[in-house]
């Protein structure tokens, strides 16, 4: 192909990958992204692929828009999606098991090259199939339109058309090879002492003709020809026994060797050699053509296979959940000139729990939640198992999916991208042996704080709760002040209700934004999983729980207050 600009990626709109930060394995686990990807596909390599793409986060809004538009096209066009997947399976097979992209050695014989030419022909059909699929679908994304334009130019390019013609011409030539005529020298015991190739023919011999001709020739002495001169203008290339040291010289002269003890048993192998000699021009032509065209978009198109798999697997998964009644939406970017720390989410839910809830016919609880300068840090309080971790985790999943271009669980999700997501969830016991649990929490939080920026998302789950209330509160209070001074969007779910009650004091720390109290709504001691902005309920909620389970003083002792 000519010097047209190549199409590079369905994940990034520009050449090269923009600066990104990678989610840690701890964050991937805390958010449950590994579990979600296992729901999307059962294939381990594809799970790794999905996680690899989701974990590379960039705050560049162009990347998010580029991906989400492509995903929308792929999700809406199921027929195109299925056709392209089928085509990519063929390309993947050619790439994994075929000869495409491999170097063509000078020693490759006609049969090797013919096989490779068949593969290249299959590849051409795949390129044409992708072009047809994109042409038939209603697409609007920059990525797929650019891919369509690129393949269209490739499809119409003179080099590509020449390749098709060259392959067709070579096929016509090689398809004419239907039979060969051999000359066999005999010794006095009527044994084959040498074999030579006389001609290559465009029609096959039949068994009857061979036998009858042979019988006719030897039935009478008169039919045995005097001498070995041929009436036609044929050259005789003998297969002659010779030593190994003469092998190269003999081969260069067009002579194939038969070891003395092998005789006729290895005839097919030696036929390969002599046939290559007779077809030297065809072999040279074919090798030149393959070397000329093999680089044409083979690498480009095969590199798109993982990216197509990424989008299509998510599309199939989300379609399944939508068919089961769940709501998903395309994330929308908030203009950069409004606020770079914004999120407006309506009726969101935790995708990790969605499949389980649908399977068990449970109702998913949805919530509305916003980020902005007036509520930049949420201090989330509520009862155990009331949904604090669920909503904290759900917000992280929203950003990971939306910036990966994937539809998010909810009715609407408007946001400005984050540069990374950091989580501080309770550590495993075996990771706290050296420093103790509080020491480990403090070390991890410091690392996270130093790594995050004003454009990061921080999700803290019961941070500093492994020590006494007084010690934990003191550390948590200073940590929230530091977060406010940096300006990172944060959800801090905690049992320290006093921290939420001291919101006004925290907001006097001259931070970029403000902290606000977010609570899990109490419903007579039942878990509602709904949240709202309100002062912490603390004791009143505990009293509801106590009454529900009969552990108030009056209920335990049977004494009624007068």
CA 444, CA 449: separation in Å to the nearest integer?
9
- Lowest mean pLDDT of 13-22, 32-41, 342-351, 386-395, name the range: 13-22
In this predicted structure, what is the pLDDT of residue 417? 95
Q: What is the pLDDT of residues 509-559, one digit of tens each?
A: 777 789 999 999 876 555 668 899 999 876 555 555 566 666 665 776 676
**Is the per-residue pLDDT at 422 higher than 50?**
yes
At 486, the pLDDT band (50, 70, 90 cuts) reads: very high
Q: What is the pLDDT of residues 66-102, one digit of tens each?
A: 999 999 999 999 999 888 878 877 766 655 555 544 5
pTM of the model: 0.74
Per-residue pLDDT at 321: 94
Give residue 432's pLDDT band: very low, low, confident or very high (50, 70, 90). very low
pLDDT average, residue stretch 332-342: 79
Which range in 252-261, 296-305, 324-333 is most confidently predicted, on average pLDDT? 324-333
Q: What is the percentage of the chain residues whose pLDDT exceeds 90?
A: 38
Question: pLDDT band at residue 6, thresholds of 50, 70 and 90?
Answer: confident
**Type and span of the H or E element at 415:** strand 412-415
Predicted pLDDT of residue 516: 96
- Between 139 and 166, name the one with better pLDDT: 139
> Which pLDDT does position 288 carry in this prediction?
62
Furthest C-alpha separation in the chain:
140
CA distance 31 to 33: 5
pLDDT band at 234 (very low <50, low <70, confident <90, very high): very low
Question: Span 250-254, mean pLDDT?
Answer: 36
Q: Is the pLDDT of residue 39 over 60?
A: yes
Name the average pLDDT for the chain.
Answer: 77
What 8-state DSSP symbol labels residue 234? -
């Amino acid at each position: 192909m000519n010097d047209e600009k190549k199409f590079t990626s369905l994940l990034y709109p520009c050449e090269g990958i923009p600066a990104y930060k990678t989610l840690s394995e701890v964050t991937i686990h805390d958010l449950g992204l590994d579990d979600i990807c296992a729901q999307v596909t059962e294939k381990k390599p594809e799970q790794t692929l999905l996680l690899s793409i989701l974990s590379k986060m960039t705050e560049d809004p162009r990347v998010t828009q580029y991906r989400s538009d492509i995903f929308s096209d792929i999700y809406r066009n199921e027929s195109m999606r299925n056709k392209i997947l089928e085509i990519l399976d063929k390309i993947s097979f050619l790439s994994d098991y075929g000869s495409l992209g491999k170097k063509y050695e000078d020693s490759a014989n006609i049969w090797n090259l013919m096989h490779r030419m068949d593969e290249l022909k299959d590849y051409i059909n795949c390129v044409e199939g992708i072009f047809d699929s994109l042409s038939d679908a209603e697409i609007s994304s920059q990525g797929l339109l650019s891919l369509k334009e690129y393949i269209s130019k490739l499809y119409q390019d003179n080099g590509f058309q020449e390749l098709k013609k060259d392959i067709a011409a070579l096929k016509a030539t090689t398809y004419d090879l239907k039979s060969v005529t051999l000359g066999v020298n005999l010794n006095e015991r009527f044994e084959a002492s040498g074999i030579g190739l006389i001609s290559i023919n465009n029609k096959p011999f039949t068994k009857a003709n061979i036998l009858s001709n042979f019988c006719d020739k030897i039935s009478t002495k008169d039919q045995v020809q005097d001498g070995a001169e041929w009436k036609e203008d044929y050259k005789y290339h003998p297969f002659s026994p010779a030593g190994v040291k003469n092998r190269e010289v003999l081969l260069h002269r067009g002579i194939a060797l038969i070891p003395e003890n092998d005789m006729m048993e290895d005839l097919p192998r030696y036929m390969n050699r002599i046939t290559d000699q007779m077809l030297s021009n065809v072999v040279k032509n074919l090798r030149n053509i393959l070397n000329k065209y093999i680089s044409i978009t083979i690498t480009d198109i095969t590199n798109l296979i993982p990216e197509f798999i990424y989008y299509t697997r998510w599309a199939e998964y989300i379609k399944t959940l939508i068919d089961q009644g769940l709501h998903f939406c395309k994330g929308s970017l908030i203009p950069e000139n409004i606020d770079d720390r914004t999120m407006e989410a309506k009726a969101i839910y935790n995708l990790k729990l969605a499949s389980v809830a649908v399977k068990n016919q449970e109702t998913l609880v949805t919530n509305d939640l916003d980020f902005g300068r007036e509520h930049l840090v949420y201090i989330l309080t509520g009862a155990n198992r009331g949904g604090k971790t669920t909503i904290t985790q759900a917000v992280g999943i929203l950003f990971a999916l939306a910036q990966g271009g994937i539809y998010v669980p909810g009715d609407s999700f408007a946001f400005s991208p984050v540069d990374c997501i950091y989580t501080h969830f309770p550590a495993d016991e075996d990771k706290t042996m050296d420093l103790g649990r509080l020491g480990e929490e403090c070390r991890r939080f410091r690392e996270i704080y130093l790594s995050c920026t004003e454009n990061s998302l921080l999700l803290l789950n019961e941070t500093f709760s492994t020590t006494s209330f007084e010690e934990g509160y003191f550390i948590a209070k200073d940590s929230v002040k530091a977060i406010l001074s940096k300006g990172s969007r944060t959800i801090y779910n905690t049992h320290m209700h006093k921290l939420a009650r001291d919101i006004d004091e925290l907001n006097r720390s001259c931070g970029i934004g403000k902290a606000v109290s977010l609570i899990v709504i109490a419903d007579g001691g039942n878990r509602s999983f709904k949240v709202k902005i309100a002062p912490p309920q603390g004791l009143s909620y505990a009293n509801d729980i106590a009454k529900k389970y009969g552990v108030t003083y009056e209920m335990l002792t049977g004494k009624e207050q007068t």
